[in-house]
């Protein structure tokens, strides 16, 4: 039994008419979300039947199917993985889960049907008794399909009455740019509402006015007609944006403060994620690490250099990413951070907006503060070399490093 045999069985069930239908349905045309995907023309019941007939397929066969250019072959490989997962012991389940995430990272779980049939089992079910950090890592990826895996995986947890991660991820992904994510978030919220309608209503009271309409309609489907009308009639307002937790160790000596993460940073849940922002190039040059390192390793390098990161603003409303558009700002609890990091010597504000916000909210701030040129591409008056020189002059003496 091998992938070629299974592919032959799928081809035997294929038709040209169904191929054309599936290509349109899963948006495989140029510029569409499934662009370039190839279809044999096999419907889901037939794919399930082929997977059932080859239930003893090896993991190597599953991997070969997942590497296929044919959509239905990848779907069959996922059915095989899910079926085997339900019979596997703990060690084998962990291996299947890891292979699935690797396939997703490689772009092989690359349409909504592939995600939806596999993620609740191969991620959600696996995580029932485990930490859930991987869901938030997936939610922060640049891949639409890994983002969808994050939220759809929680459906298995919801069915067990575990709603916390679903609501947290829904809030994080609520303003994702793609309509497919609006549908997925709304779907998961609706399922949460089946278990706890009051908790869904509490979520909607905070977010309904700013939610994408598609997500809202999905979320309220099971409410009666009058209640649906009330939620849909809520006036739209800009969403409440929330900054990230601080990146800091107790031995930090320098605190770098931004104003509020921009749109790309909020989408990726990463400090200074916009590629044209010069922060990581400057930090790498000053503190001795490669700015192209994975995000987690960049954060670790800053901590090792006794550098902490945070933002002055904790929550606000804003159109776009410009600091000048910030409204309804509420500050982060900077005094609590200072208490956690008693060795801090200096606070460096990344740009004038951060400095102004710090002075506004904390006029009696107890540490020395230096205002540095913004690393944002919107602050284009100074070239990169000048910004790097000014940052180095201000910060290197504090930490005893050399650029």
Task: State the catalytic residues.
Answer: 277
**DSSP 8-state code for residue 42:** -
Strands (E), 238-321: 241-242, 254-258, 307-311, 313-317
Closest CA to 334 of 306, 308, 316, 352: 308
- The bridge status of strand 369-372 relative to strand 346-350 is parallel
Task: Kindly give, in sequence order, each residue whose CB lies less than 8 Å from that of residue 20, ignoring residues fewer than 6 positions away.
Answer: 41
**β-pair partners for 327:** 317
How far, in Å, CA of 381 to CA of 374, rounded?
10
CB 278, CB 375: distance < 8 Å: yes
Name the strands in the sheet holding 241-242, side by side, starting at the edge strand that comes first in the sequence: 241-242, 313-317, 327-331
**β-pair partners for 255:** 308, 347
């Amino acid at each position: 039994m091998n992938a070629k045999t299974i592919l032959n069985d799928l081809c035997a069930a294929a038709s040209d008419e169904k191929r054309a239908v599936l290509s349109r349905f899963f948006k495989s045309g140029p510029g569409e979300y499934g662009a370039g995907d190839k279809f044999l023309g096999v419907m889901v019941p037939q794919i399930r039947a082929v997977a059932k007939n080859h239930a003893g397929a090896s993991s190597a066969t599953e991997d070969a199917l997942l590497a296929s250019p044919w959509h239905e072959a990848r779907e069959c490989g996922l059915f095989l993985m899910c079926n085997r997962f339900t019979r596997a012991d703990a060690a084998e389940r962990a291996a299947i889960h890891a292979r699935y995430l690797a396939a997703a990272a490689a772009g092989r779980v690359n349409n909504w049907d592939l995600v939806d049939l596999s993620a609740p089992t191969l991620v959600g079910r696996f995580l029932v008794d485990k930490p859930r950090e991987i869901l938030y890592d997936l939610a922060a990826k640049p891949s639409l399909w890994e983002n969808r895996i994050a939220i759809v995986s929680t459906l298995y947890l919801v069915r067990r009455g575990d709603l916390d991660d679903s609501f947290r991820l829904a809030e994080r992904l609520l303003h994702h740019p793609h309509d497919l994510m609006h549908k997925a978030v709304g779907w998961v919220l609706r399922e949460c509402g089946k278990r706890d309608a009051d908790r869904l209503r509490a979520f909607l009271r905070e977010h309904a006015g700013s939610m994408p309409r598609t997500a809202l309609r999905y979320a309220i489907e099971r409410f009666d007609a009058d209640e649906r009308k009330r939620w849909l009639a809520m006036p739209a307002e800009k969403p409440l944006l929330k900054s990230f937790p601080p990146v800091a160790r107790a031995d930090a000596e320098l605190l770098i403060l931004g104003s509020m993460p921009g749109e790309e940073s909020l989408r990726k849940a990463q400090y200074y994620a916009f590629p044209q922002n010069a922060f990581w190039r400057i930090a790498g040059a000053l503190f001795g690490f490669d700015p192209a390192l994975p995000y987690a390793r960049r954060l670790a390098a800053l901590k090792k250099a006794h550098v902490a990161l945070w933002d002055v603003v904790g929550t606000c409303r804003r159109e776009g990413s410009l600091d000048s558009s910030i409204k309804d700002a509420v500050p982060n609890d900077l005094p609590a951070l200072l208490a956690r990091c008693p060795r801090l010597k200096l606070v460096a504000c990344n740009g004038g907006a951060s400095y102004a916000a710090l002075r506004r909210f904390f006029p009696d701030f107890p540490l020395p503060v230096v205002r540095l040129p913004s690393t944002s591409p919107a602050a284009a008056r100074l070239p990169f070399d000048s910004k790097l020189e000014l940052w180095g002059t201000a910060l290197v003496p504090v930490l005893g490093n050399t650029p």
